[in-house]
Amino acid sequence: MNLIDFIIGALIANAIPHLIFGLTKTHFLGMFGYTSKGNISYAVLQFIIAISIFCYNYEYSKFLENGYLIGAVTVLVLYFIFGNILVKFYGKRDKTTNN
């Protein structure tokens, strides 16, 4: 492992909480402020930068050989695709039950 690998992993790992905070509309400071759109934009930017650095430093074919990176990217992409749906689904509360 070298410094570039660490930076790629850190960018992807940091994109996940910013995406979650953006989807849940939780105020969390990101590069573009406290807004949910700012956090989502920051997560997308980090994801693009991480993949760009990886493809520049290595080759795209090496991406398919790196199991850790595929796992991290898969989790992040699934959050991008299903995150808003899951937040809406699990965010609903039953009015008849006592909390």
Domain ranges for the chain, please list them: 3-91
pLDDT of residue 3: 92
pLDDT of residue 92: 67
Q: How confident is the model at residue 96 (pLDDT cuts 50, 70, 90)?
A: low
* Percent of the chain predicted with pLDDT > 90: 30
Q: Is the pLDDT of residue 80 over 90?
A: no
Residue 77 CA to residue 54 CA, distance in Å, equals 16
pLDDT of residue 61: 82
CB contact burial 14-48 (16+ within 10 A = b; e otherwise): bbbebbbbbbeeeebebeeeeebebbbbbbbbbbe
**Which residues are paired to 30 by β-bridges?**
33
pLDDT digit string, tens, across residues 38-78: 999 999 999 999 999 999 998 888 888 888 888 888 888 88
Q: What is the pTM of this model?
A: 0.77
